[in-house]
Amino acid sequence: MSILEDARALAESGPVCDACLGRAFAERSFGLTNAERGKSLRVAAALDDDEPYEAVDTEDCWVCEGACAEFDDWAERCAEAIEDVEVETYQVGTRAPPLVEENELLLREGAGLPEDAGELFKSEFNREVGKRVGRLTGTEVDFTRPDVQFLLDIEADTVEAQLNSAFVYGRYRKLARDIPQTEWPCRECDGSGYKGKEPCDYCGGSGYLYEDSVEGFVAPVVTDVMDGVDAKFHGAGREDVDALMLGTGRPFVVEIMEPRRRTVDVEQLEGDINAMADGEIEVEGLRLATYDMVERVKKLDASKEYRAAVEFDDDVTDAELAAALDELTGATIEQYTPNRVDHRRASITRTRHVYDATGDLEDPRHATVEIHGEGGLYIKELVSGDEGRTNPSLAGILDTGAVVTALDVIAVEGEDEPFEDDAFFKD
Ligand SMILES: [Zn+2]
Ligand SMILES: [Zn+2]
């Protein structure tokens, strides 16, 4: 059958609006709307038959029941839903009424067309409303990860605007000990602060084992500035609670849920966080980041540099220490899962490299050593030998007991490339 014969067959089923008629031929002639296709076919068929042209009022359409006349209304409702919200990109999704989906099948079936001829009602709705939303709000459509996702439920007559998270990247230094990276709920009361009706003794009723955390200093300030509802803190690994994080700091991303602001002055934000943290922690290099930065921060292979205060059981000379550190430099270390590590993890022997080891004695029993190693190298065990589970070790080479009394991280850097890749930033 020719396209005009197909169009006549569809139009004979009852009043069919231009959009519903044209939608059955949506794959033809790029650059037209379905309503333009439908109207043109109706005109061409009338000319071909030399019959009077009769337009169909969209309100009377038995297929969409008038929904195709409402693109502008829906778009205005979308624009209203984000009136006070800052977004740059959007996407529209439509839940089509089941009856309309059924009518679409009946329409095609009745005209002898394949049931998937053209495109779906909801695809047209997404596109037509989407175009109008873009014009009304001055935003761009984004099919991957838009700032806002509209969900139109035609039957329920509702518009839902879901705001996707915004992300801020930075590096933190932890300048005081006994601060965990993330908030640490009390295990006795599960973070509620209560045991039954009484305040929890274990945490003093705060619900947290530690009063402060890096997350606790950073996340609320960012949440406030971006006017979000909640936040998640993602770190590039974490140091022990009692270790400092110094030097160039540790990369992190703060994810803000449902932010109403996305373009924030990161320098001012940095100042606000640092003022709030009052010297306990510091952040720097804040930048607006993409969603993909979360995974980069969590997964990128990173080497670590540590500074450890070490205490020896026997006197050690400068020459002995220097020789031992020379031996460790460039060495491949075998480490059986340390005793102190979570025993739910499978015990395995892993191999890690020491890139560099240097240090100085304070006195014959005390030294400060700096170790640059592959990610995952256990430093306390590299020093102590962990009762033979780590080989070689500083204690093993010196043939004396050695223990780390204070451990600080001074750098966390990508093994093969820096964390700070422009492809992962929005500014
Ligand atoms: Zn229609
Ligand atoms: Zn508690």
Domain ranges (residues) in the chain: 3-163, 167-296, 302-414
Ligand 1 centre distance from Cα of residue 106 (Å): 13
Q: Which ligand has the shortest distance to the CA of 15? A: 1
Q: Which residue type occupies 385? A: G
**In the structure encoding, which two tokens stand for residue 231, read together?**
């936040």
Going by the annotation, the residues of the binding site are 306, 378
Ligand 2 centre distance from Cα of residue 179 (Å): 17
Beta-strand relationship, 402-414 and 302-312? antiparallel
Q: What pLDDT does residue 349 have?
A: 87
Q: Is 23 helix (H, G, I), strand (E, B) or coil?
A: helix
Q: What are phi and psi of 341, to 5 degrees?
A: -80, 145
Ligand 1 centre distance from Cα of residue 52 (Å): 21
Distances (CA, A) of 280 to 180, 211, 270, 274, 305: 12, 12, 14, 9, 21
Mean pLDDT of 277-305: 96
Interhelix angle 121-137/98-110, nearest 10 degrees: 120
Contacts 24+ apart (CB under 8 A), 362-365: 364/312, 364/315, 364/316, 364/317, 365/311, 365/312, 365/314, 365/315, 365/316
Q: What pLDDT does residue 187 have?
A: 86
Ligand 2 centre distance from Cα of residue 298 (Å): 29
Element (H, E) at 232: strand 230-235
Q: What pLDDT does residue 343 have?
A: 67
Q: Which residues surround ligand 1, an ion (CB under 5 A)?
A: 17, 20, 61, 63-64, 68
pLDDT band at 196 (very low <50, low <70, confident <90, very high): confident
Q: What pLDDT does residue 340 have?
A: 77
Q: Which ligand has the shortest distance to the CA of 13? A: 1
Ligand 1 centre distance from Cα of residue 70 (Å): 11
Q: Which ligand has the shortest distance to the CA of 104? A: 1
Q: 302-414, what's its fold? A: Alpha-Beta Plaits (3.30.70)
pLDDT band at 75 (very low <50, low <70, confident <90, very high): very high
Residue 175 has pLDDT above 80, yes or no: yes
**In the structure encoding, which two tokens stand for residue 213, read together?**
């955390």
Q: What pLDDT does residue 172 have?
A: 98
- Identify which of 19, 64, 71 has the alpha carbon closest to the alpha carbon of residue 42: 19
Mean pLDDT of 253-270: 97
Sign, CA dihedral 263-265-269-270, equals: positive
Equal CATH topology for 167-296 and 302-414: yes
Q: Is 45 helix (H, G, I), strand (E, B) or coil?
A: helix
More confident residue, 3 or 348: 3
Please, what is the Cα angle at 206 between 204 and 209, to 5 degrees? 80
Going by the annotation, the residues of the binding site for substrate are 306, 378
Give the predicted TM-score (pTM) of the model: 0.87
Residue 12 CB-half CA count within 13 A? 11
Q: Which ligand has the shortest distance to the CA of 69? A: 1
Ligand 1 centre distance from Cα of residue 275 (Å): 60
- Identify which of 140, 95, 101, 141 has the alpha carbon closest to the alpha carbon of residue 119: 101
Q: Give catalytic residue positions.
A: 240
pLDDT band at 209 (very low <50, low <70, confident <90, very high): confident
Report the CATH number of the 3-163 domain. Answer: 3.30.2300.10
SS3 content of the chain, % helix, strand, coil (to 5): 30, 30, 40
**What distance in Å separates the CA atoms of residue 248 and residue 420, rounded to the nearest whole number?**
13
How do residues 329-347 score in pLDDT, each as one tens digit?
999 999 998 877 766 667 7
More confident residue, 208 or 287: 287
**What distance in Å separates the CA atoms of residue 260 and residue 229, rounded to the nearest whole number?**
9
**Spatial contact of 134 and 90, defined as CB atoms under 8 Å apart:** yes
Report the CATH number of the 167-296 domain. Answer: 3.30.70.2510
Q: Which residues surround ligand 2, an ion (CB under 5 A)?
A: 186, 188-189, 200, 202-203
Question: Helices (DSSP H) in 24-151: which residue ranges?
Answer: 34-49, 71-81, 98-110, 121-137
